[in-house]
Amino acid sequence: MSLERTAVAVTGAGSGMGEATAERFAERGADVVVVDVDGEAATEVADRIDARDGGSAVAHVADVSDADDVSAFVDRTVEEFGTIDVLHNNAGIPQQSTPVEDVTEETWDGVVDVNLKSAFLGAKYAVPHMRDQGGGVILNTASTAGIRPRTGLSAYCASKGGMITLTKQLAHELASDDIRVNAICPVATDTAMLPSFSGEELRVDDMLDTIPLGRLAEPGDIANAAVFLASDEAAMITGTALEVDGGRDI
């Protein structure tokens, strides 16, 4: 599955699912902008990609909840590689399992801004470029929590449910521009962020017990889904929320 000379921007690519996805795109020949709020992590990933055969990479520091930062990394992608063929809105933050009455407005706003507003901003600034170049692909990392909620994750589940609905709306709105939009819905994934969800009423073991295949997702599972959805093999797929969940949503 070649993505030779495809220009891809991946947010939250300094670690976890985003890191694995950026590397997988590069393995398929893509040129990648590694976007992360942590500049050191982004640079490390980009340098590692550049040192291998395959695509090239540059690092870009951005807060994906900030409109100017999002506009800047989209423009950087076009400046570096001539187009922005794929935008993967992957960056996200967790919410510790907390009863709704104890969730602060600050927590709610922070989760929604990073997990949902960021995808709106990404589309806002990438779509004009994609339309001018004759098409493109937008991928949004949602979650199984947007389909089957987890205990105590009101802000997180709302943000991911919104991501799924936004994906469907954008797919409908942008189809005539040959811009495909899909969401990826990972189940609990074995990354450094996972323990941050735990609270008095939700533990990682509780999450594992709900997955019929009997294991957590790995970052590579999500990377494989992203590369497929961005490829020509998925040319007839838009508006879907692909469950990478080991059966969690059955």
Read off φ and ψ for residue 214, nearest 5 degrees: 80, 15
Alpha-carbon distance 14 to 11, whole Å? 8
Q: In what order do the strands lie in the sheet with 241-244?
A: 57-61, 31-36, 7-11, 86-89, 136-141, 179-186, 241-244
Look up 156 and say whether it is catalytic: yes
Query: Which residue is catalytic, options 156, 158, 225, 245?
Result: 156
Q: What Rg, from alpha-carbon coordinates, does the chain have?
A: 17
**Residues 225, 219 contacting (CB under 8 angstroms):** no
Handedness of CA 54, 45, 225, 122 (dihedral sign): negative
Closest CA to 29 of 4, 10, 60: 4
Alpha-carbon distance 116 to 105, whole Å? 16
Q: Annotated active-site positions, please?
A: 156
